[in-house]
Structure 1
Amino acid sequence: MEVGLWLLALCALLLPALWLLSFLRTDTDLTLLWAAWLGRRPEQVLTGMVVWVTGASSGIGEELAFQLSKLGVSLVLSARRTQELERVKRRCLENGNMKERDILVLPLDLADTSSHDTATKAVLQEFGRIDILVNNSGIAHYSFAVDTNLDVFKLITDVNYLGTVSLTKCVLPHMMERNRGKIVIINSIAGIIPVPLCSAYSGSKHALRGFLNTLHTELYDYPGITVSTICPGPVHSNIYQNCFLGEVTKVLGKQARDIPKMSTSRCVWLILVSMANDLKEVWIADQPVLFAIYLGQYMPFLDWIISKKTWGKIINQYIMDWHNYLENSCHKRPSK
């Protein structure tokens, strides 16, 4: 009897330790981690669907299109750069699982909301339905709020928030008519926790999170429609090089700092898992960023104490980036 009690006590101590060890090595929140282990596989759920991906010309959008092409879906690729979309299309066709007619290249400027209804009708005319809309397009900036021109705030809001809301509203009536579909928004950890030097970007991502959470409640009478917000941490993409520096005429370019980033392929595979399992919100980030998200959500006071030193390093790095930028251009830093 005593041996059995000792074994139970030992298990009670070991299980939390094993769970903590597993968490410290993972790059997903616990819900997505569970789905990746025991949930439905993307190839079991997504094959044969019509998937519309915005921001498909590079980064997460391009890799998402590439991995989806392996699953035998019909793809709609949208972004502003037609030439890059054609390149992504050729890459997808190289898999051998798709034919020319399975991919529609549809150039789209997310900030031009007047074009969204026409674009939606073009997709429906081509494929007859839209099963999944992946809102991935986005732009960012890298500057103190006080140094950031209001035009940057407006442009980022127009693209990241209003453009995404507009396209979603165009697609939603079609999904409601069928009572079937998935709305997916590629958000960011900046939409959950504060990230210095990203005030406009972070604000647009917080707005998206609020929009999607509210939309989820309004679709209670449409159980066949699911909405998901995906919040990745730093991922390999061109968004860092294309960051605005306080003004829409200045971008960081090659001066972008080299920070640890998750591989795009790993991030996208986790996104597909979340889509296959209809997860409402997921966090994807390497440690210690993932741990910081948990602290920010559940222990914000402790998170602020720990993060002050980290934010200080980021701000100091920003100042160094500015010095590098000024050395390689004739531009001057906006006045404080």
Structure 2
Amino acid sequence: MDWCFMSALWYLLPVYVAFHFLCFIFADADLTLLRASLIGHRPETTLRGLVVWVTGASSGIGEELAYQLAKCGSRLILSARREQELMRVKRICLENSDLKDEDILILPLDLLERTSHEEKTQTAIQYFGRIDVLINNGGRSQRSLCLETSVDVYEALMELNFLGTVSMTKQVLPHMTQRGSGSVVTVSSVVGLAGAPLATGYSASKHALQGFFNSLRTELTDYPKILISTVCPGPVQSQIVNNAFTEELSKPVATVGNQEHKMPTSRCVRLMLVGIANGVKEMWIAQQPFLLFYYAWQYAPTFAWTITDLLGRKRVQNFKAGLDADSAYFTKPKTS
């Protein structure tokens, strides 16, 4: 009997390996998240009725989060600096879901104004009575070379992306520990796991978030019902490049290329909600070959450095030539 069992395992092993290999080749998320999307809890069931606070909700990933959460039946707190844009997002949420006007609170917020975060948090709690999920999505990217970048830009990136997020988390977390449950979900990046040229400050801020939340997670072992989750997207279609910092605080990005080669925002957000619904602690979300890049950095860093150097050199060359640093990987620039 034991021999038959071992023989069966021997024959099933290649099938198991082949299945996971095929999943990886065609996947746009890590295997844990992919498995959850196939056989895990559905966001429409798990997130219905929960109070979800989304920062950076006026555009990009945050805006799409609002739309999909509304369809799931979540009650929403939408925050960003631009109140008119938040009102627009709320209107679309109401038009495309069963939510009522009172189910969505517009709460303008600036991550840099940390002294206001306590008051904003109390307003949110008083309005709904609780906060079930905080999604730290607000922040800005960077497109500039280190040698040309002002230290003021690095300071601004750390103040906004790191300290602003830490401040919001510290305001909401005591409420969750008192209740004994909740989720803090933070949008990091692939550059929170690996370095990338033209984003030294942005990458540093995301590395800082990874370290902070990995450490925080271990501090909360006495609260097993509190999820600390980080999301590491690769290139996603959004306005993050348009609003990126450059070498000077007030200088806009010169060239924003075509976004079509990047992952659709709707797909990225769907995977995020699957991860939240299934308690995934870290989510890798990217189309190939970017997902392979995640795995290389995790399991074969020496090989990953070689690939990074090659791609990084091309990225810097494109940037210096006045091309979009991202889209020039996939499209040949027109020459006269």
What TM-score results when the alignment is normalised by the length of structure 1?
A: 0.91
Q: What corresponds to 2:258 in structure 1?
A: 258
For residues 99-131 of structure 1, what are the alpha-carbon distances to aligned partners after superposition, in whole Å with 9 as ceiling and x for unaligned? 110011011000110010010011011111000
**Farther off after superposition, 13-22 or 145-154:** 13-22
How far the C-alpha of 1:7 sits from its partner, in A, is 8.3
Equivalent residue runs for 1:244-255 within 5 Å: 244-252=245-253, 255=255
- SS state at 2:123 partner: helix
Offset, 1:293:
0.8
CA distance in 1, matches of 2:107, 2:15: 54
Q: CA deviation at 1:10?
A: 5.7
What secondary structure, in the 3-state scheme, does the structure 2 residue paired with 1:231 have?
A: strand
AA partner of residue 310 (structure 1) = L
Amino acid at match of 1:192: L
Q: Deviations over 1:149-185 (max 9, x none)?
A: 1111111111100000001100111111101110000
Aligned to 1:332: none
Offset of residue 304 of structure 1: 1.2
**Residues 320 and 119 of structure 1, relative CA distance in 2, 3 Å threshold:** same
The one-letter code matched in structure 2 to 1:105 is I
Q: Which residue does 1:101 correspond to in 2? A: 102
Deviation at 1:74, TM superposition (A): 1.0
Q: Which amino acid aligns with 1:59?
A: G
C-alpha distance in 1, partners of 2:46/2:285? Answer: 21
Offset, 1:15: 3.6
Residues 293-312 of structure 1 aligned to structure 2 (within 5 Å): 293-312=294-313
The answer to whether the 8 Å contact 2:227/2:279 transfers is yes
Find out whether 1:195 has 2:175 as its counterpart. Answer: no
**C-alpha separation between the residues in 2 aligned to 1:152 and 1:11?**
55
Letter in 1 for 2:291: L
Question: Could you tell me whether the CA contact under 8 Å between 1:135 and 1:185 is conserved in 2?
Answer: yes
Whether the 8 Å CA contact 1:27–1:290 is kept in 2: the answer is yes
Cα distance, 1:84 vs structure 2: 0.5
Between the two proteins, what is the percent identity of the paired residues?
49
Task: Give, as a single letter, the amino acid of the residue that structure 2 aligns with 1:256.
Answer: V
Does the 8 A contact of 1:71 with 1:97 survive in 2?
A: no
Distance 1:8 1:51 in 2: 45
Distance, in Å, in 2 between the alignment partners of 1:323 and 1:185 is: 27
Does the Cα contact within 8 Å between 1:256 and 1:321 map onto a contact in 2? no
**CA, structure 1 residues 278+12, in 2 after alignment: closer, same or farther (shift >3 Å)?**
closer
Counterpart mapping for 1:40-189 below 5 A: 40-189=41-190
- Cα deviation, 1:6-45, whole Å, max 9, x if unaligned, reads 9876644344233212211100001101111111111121
TM-score calculated relative to the size of structure 2: 0.91
**Shift in Å, 1:96:** 3.6
Cα deviation code 1:274-303 (max 9, x no counterpart): 000111111000000000111011110011
Alpha-carbon separation, structure 2, partners of 1:258 and 1:132: 33
Deviation at 1:147, TM superposition (A): 1.1
Give distance in 2, aligned partners of 1:10 and 1:21.
Answer: 18
> For residues 306 and 90 of structure 1, do their structure 2 counterparts lie closer, same or farther at Cα, with a shift above 3 Å needed?
same
Cα distance between partner residues in 2 of 1:91 and 1:323: 31
Which residue identity lines up with residue 51 of structure 1 in the other structure?
V
CA contact under 8 A between 1:237 and 1:264: conserved in structure 2? yes
Structure 1's unaligned 5+ residue stretches are 325-336
Letter in 1 for 2:99: M
Aligned AA for 1:93? L
Compute the displacement of 1:5 (Å).
10
| C-alpha separation in 2, matches of 1:5 and 1:224 | 39
**Equivalent-residue separation in structure 1 for 2:86 and 2:242 (angstroms):** 19
1:241·1:256 contact (CA, 8 Å) conserved in 2?
A: yes
Q: 1:161 to 1:14 in 2, by over 3 A?
A: same
Residues 156/323 of structure 1: CA separation in 2 closer, same or farther (3 Å cut): closer
Alpha-carbon contact 1:236-1:263 (below 8 Å) kept: yes
76-85 or 256-265: bigger deviation: 256-265
Could you say if the C-alpha distance between residues 44 and 155 of structure 1 is closer, same or farther in structure 2, counting changes exceeding 3 Å? same
CA distance in 2, matches of 1:212, 1:50: 21
Change (3 A) 1:70 1:151: same
CA distance in 1, matches of 2:103, 2:13: 53
Query: Gaps (5+ residues) in structure 2?
Result: 326-336
Retained in 2: the 8 A contact 1:245–1:251?
yes
Q: CA deviation digits over 1:18-73, x for unaligned, max 9?
A: 32122111000011011111111111211001000000000000000000001111
2:329 corresponds in structure 1 to none
Alpha-carbon distance change, 8 to 323 in structure 1, aligned in 2, over 3 angstroms: closer
Report how many aligned residue pairs link the two structures: 323
Mapped to 1, the partners of 2:269 and 2:69 lie a distance apart of 10
What secondary structure, in the 3-state scheme, does the structure 2 residue paired with 1:51 have?
strand
